[in-house]
Structure 1
C-alpha cells in the first residue's frame, strides 16, 4: 500500500505550547505514596523522594504537572497538607475509598517539582468548598509576605512564594460521581465568581474551567456552552478529559479512537467560537486537555477495593500494565494533539506514576518504563516548535461510527532553532507495510538524523519488573532521504519517530 505526505515549511498550524506534554499526579492509589514518595526506599533522598522515579520523570520532561486531583480535589482541604507532619490529620477519601495521611501536601509537592524542573498546575476544590478556600490557597501559595496566609507559609518553612500561574477551577463538575456535583448553570456561575476573586489578586493568572468529563456525557456539548456563557471573559481554558478502552479487543477500532478524540476537540472548538461570537468578544479561550490516557486493563480488578468496606492506605489501584497496542494508540493521540495545537494548548497525561501511568514502581523495589513511556518521551523531547499542516494521502478502513479511517497517522514539527523536523508516525494496518513517501517542500536539503521505532509482533507484550526493557524503541530500518524527499516502508502495526536535519 502506498501513502504520500506533503509538508511545507510555510504551512504552519501553530507554535506548540510546550505544556502540551504535561502530566498529572493525584492523591490516589500509589501515585504519590510509593510512587514519587517513599521514605526508607534505597533510592529515596533525604526528603523521601525516589531518585529512580525522578530520573525517569526528567527523561519525559513534562513542563507542568496538575495536582492534587482529579476526583480527590472535590473533597480536599488543602490546609490538611501543611504544617508539622506529625500534626496532619488522616482523612477518608470518598473519591477512591481510601485513607489519606496528608504526609505529602503543597510544600512537599512543590519541593518535588523543583527537583524535577516542573511547574505546578494547581486545582482548587469547587465541590465541597468554594471561593473562600480557593482565594486562601492562592494567597498561601503566591503572596510574598505580610498577610495571614503568606506569613503562615513562611512559618511552615517556605520564605519565597511559588508564584503558580495555572489554576484549575475544580474537576469534572459535570460528573454525578463528583463530590459536590453541580449542573452547568451552578458550576458556570461558581467558576466565574471564583475566577474573578483569583484574578482580583493577580490578573495574569491562567484559569481552567471544567468542560466535559468525556464526549459520551449526556450533557455534552451543551455543558461547555452553558459554562462558557457564564465565565468566558474570566477563564482562559476549558478542560476536556478522555480515556481510551479496548474491551472488545478490536484493534482496528481501538487505534481509530484518536479520530473520535479529534472530533471531540473540533466540536468544543466550535462551541468556543460560538460563545466568542455571541459575546462579541476579542478574547480567545483555548482547550486544556488535562486528563487523557488508556484506562481499562485494571477496571474489574479494582472493584474489590473501590467498593469494599475497608479504607486502605495507598491501595494498588488503576495499575494498568500497558502493551504494544497501547503504545500505538498513545502515538496516535499525541499526533492528534500536535495537529490540533492551535486549539489544544495544554494537555496532561493521567497519570505519571503507577496509576494508569508511563512509569511503574514496586514498593521497596524497582521502577520501570511502560510501553507508553516511549511515544510520550519522543513527542516531549522532539515535538516542540511549529506544528506543520500536512497533506496526507492514505488508504483507509471502515470503523463503526467513525467512517473511513486512514491507515497512516502522522504529525510533523519544525524546530527552527535546531534546524530539524520531527515526524511521528503510526501504521495502523494489521498486516501490510505502507510505502511511505514524504515531499519536504520548502527545504533545499535534508539529512536523516535518527529513526526510532516500536515494531514488535506481539501486540499484547508488556514491560514488567522482571523484564523492564522487554519492549523499547529500536533503530528503525528502511527509510532514506533523497534530496527533499523521505521514502521507505513502514512495517505493519508500528510506531516511528524520525528526525531530519533540514536547510531552507
Structure 2
C-alpha cells in the first residue's frame, strides 16, 4: 500500500515574487530553430521577411514573455555589423562554434523584428569573445538610441525608425568555457574587468537597461564557484544578474535520475546565491544581484568510457582537438534535417517541468529562466507543420497559473535514493538520498486571491493518495484540478493529433476542513487551483 503523501502550503511560507521572465525561452542558430523553423522563405506561410507565419503565430498565441537571442556559443565570434543593411550586401561568415557558414540572412534586425512580431521581449547576448567594448557600445546605440548619431541613424535607414528599446543585455556567453572563442577560462578577473567597462559604457548610452555577467557554464566546471566569484567581484556594482547554464543528463532507462535532476539545479542555484551574497558583503553593497538561468535542459545520454588518471575535469582537453577532415556546412532553411527526441512526449515534458519547478521554488533570486528548446516545447514543428507537444501544455499552465508569489511548499512522502553516476569524465553526479517521489511548487496571487500547486509524481509504478493542507489559507476552496498521465510512455503528439497527451480535468477529489485530497498517477503532471 502506497504511503499517503502530503503537501502543506501556508501564507507564512513565502519565497519571493515571481518574475514575468521566469518562464522564457532560448534561441540560437543551430539545428533548425532559426534556419528552417523561424526562417524559411520557401515555406507556404512565409511572410515578406521569410519568417514562417505558422510558427510565428503559434508562439504569439502563447504570450511567451521573453526569448534570449541570438545565442549561445554562436555570438562569441559573430560580428553584428555584418548582419545589417540590404540582405544581398551582407557578409557571409564562418561560425567556428558550430562549424557552419552563416549567411546573415537572419541578422540583428531580423532577430529583434521577429521578437516584435511574436510579441515577446528580446534578451540580447553580446559578443564578449572576439568583440570589443566599442562593438558593444555601437550595438546598443544602434538598437536603443532614438537618432542623431551614425549608428542610430543607420538603424532608421535600415527601416526601423523607432528604437527597439532592448532592456536586457548579456555580456558574453559561457565565458569560463574553453570551447568559447575568446574564452576567459583561466582569467576570470580579466573577464570581470571587461564586463565592468562594457556595462558601464553601454549603460551610459542607455541608463534604463539591465546587464548580466557570465557565471559558470555548469556546476562541473573546474573553477566553480571561485571563477564566478572572481569575475563578479570585478563588476558587482554595474551588473544586475549572474548568468548560469546547466544541462542535466541521466542514463537510459533511469527515469528517477532524470526526474531527480532538479536537485542538482537547486544545489547549483544555492551555491550561486551564496557566492553572490558573499561578494555583496565584500563590497559592503546593499544591492542584490539576481540569477538568470538562461540555458537549461534535461536529457538521456548513454554512459561513455571513463579515463582514470585524466582527473575529473577535462573540458579543456575535450575542446582543444582539431580534426583535419572536418568541413564547414552551409545550411539550407528549406532542407534541414529533422531532429527528434527519443522516446515519448511524457518523460521529456516531466523532465523539463521538474527543472521549471526548481526555478519557481527559488523565484526570490532566479528572475529569468530561458528553456533551451523552449520555443520547440511551445510550438513543435517539422518542415511543413506546427503542433502542440505535451510540453506545450505544461509550459502554458505554468505561464498561466504561476503568478504572484512563490510558496515554499512542504512535502511529506515516500522517498528514494539516487546512486551517484558518471555520464563521462566531466558529468559526474554525486548520489542523493531521500529524494521525494512527489516534486512540488506553489504560487499565490494575493491580488486575485488565487493559489496554484504544481506536482509531479516521479514514481513510474505507484499511484499516491495526496493531501494538500490549506488550513492556513482560510476561505480558499478548489477552483480546478488538472492531470496529465499516460499508460503508454512512447506516445507522441503529432500534427495530425496534438491532443494525444494533454492535461485533463481531474474530478475525483474531496475538500473538507481545509484539506484537498486526490490521487496522483505514476509519472504524472498535476495542477491544483484554489480561490477565495
Please state which band the TM-score falls in when normalised by the shorter chain: over 0.9
In the aligned structure 2, how far is the partner of 1:474 from the partner of 1:48? Answer: 37
2:86 aligned partner: 84
Q: Secondary structure at the match of 1:409?
A: strand
Deviation at 1:333, TM superposition (A): 1.0
Are positions 1:430 and 2:434 aligned together?
no
1:59 shift after superposition: 4.0
Which blocks of at least 5 consecutive residues in structure 1 are unaligned?
none
Q: State TM-score, norm by structure 1.
A: 0.93
Q: CA deviation at 1:307?
A: 8.1
- Counterpart check, 1:320 vs 2:341: yes
Determine if contact 1:394/1:407 at 8 Å carries over to the other structure: yes
- 1:265 is displaced (CA, Å) by 0.4
Is 2:25–2:375's contact at 8 Å kept on the other side of the alignment? no
SS of the counterpart of 1:283?
coil
Aligned length: 495
Partner of 2:354: 332
Alignment of 1:274-423 (within 5 A): 274-296=278-300, 308-313=326-331, 315-316=336-337, 319-320=340-341, 323-353=345-375, 357-363=377-383, 365-400=384-419, 401-423=431-453
Which of 452, 458, 471 is the matching residue for 2:488?
Answer: 458
Indicate conservation of the 8 Å contact 1:59/1:377, yes or no.
Answer: no
How much does 1:247 deviate?
2.9
Q: In structure 2, do the counterparts of structure 1 residues 299 and 318 end up closer, same or farther at CA, with 3 Å as the change threshold? A: farther
Shift of 1:328: 1.3
1:53-100, Cα deviation, whole Å (9 max, x unpaired): 123313432211111110000010111221011111222211112121
- Could you tell me how far apart the structure 2 residues matched to 1:433 and 1:382 are? 25
Q: Which moved more, 1:62-71 or 1:4-13?
A: 4-13
Please identify, of 141-150 and 288-297, the stretch whose mean Cα deviation from structure 2 is larger: 288-297
Quick check: 243-252 or 21-30, which moved more? 243-252
Q: Could you say if the C-alpha distance between residues 133 and 262 of structure 1 is closer, same or farther in structure 2, counting changes exceeding 3 Å?
A: same
Does the 8 Å contact 2:404/2:443 carry over to 1? yes
**Equivalent residues of 1:13, 1:387 under 8 A apart:** yes
Pairwise CA distance, 1:253:
1.2
Could you tell me the TM-score, scaled by structure 2's length?
0.88
1:42 to 44, 62, 67: 44
Distance 1:295 1:178, change over 3 A: farther
Q: Is the CA contact (8 Å cut-off) linking 2:465 and 2:518 kept in structure 1?
A: yes
Q: Is the 8 A contact 1:175 1:213 kept in 2?
A: yes
Matches within 5 A, 1:169-318: 169-182=171-184, 183=186, 184-296=188-300, 308-313=326-331, 315-316=336-337
Give, in angstroms, the shift of residue 123 of structure 1. 0.8
Matched, 1:487 2:491: no
The CA deviation at 1:444 is 2.8
Contact kept? 1:26, 1:351, Cα under 8 Å: no
SS at match of 2:115: helix
How far apart are the structure 2 equivalents of 1:483 and 1:89?
A: 68
| Equivalent position SS for 2:286 | coil
More moved, 190-199 vs 309-318: 309-318
CA distance in 2, matches of 1:418, 1:299: 48
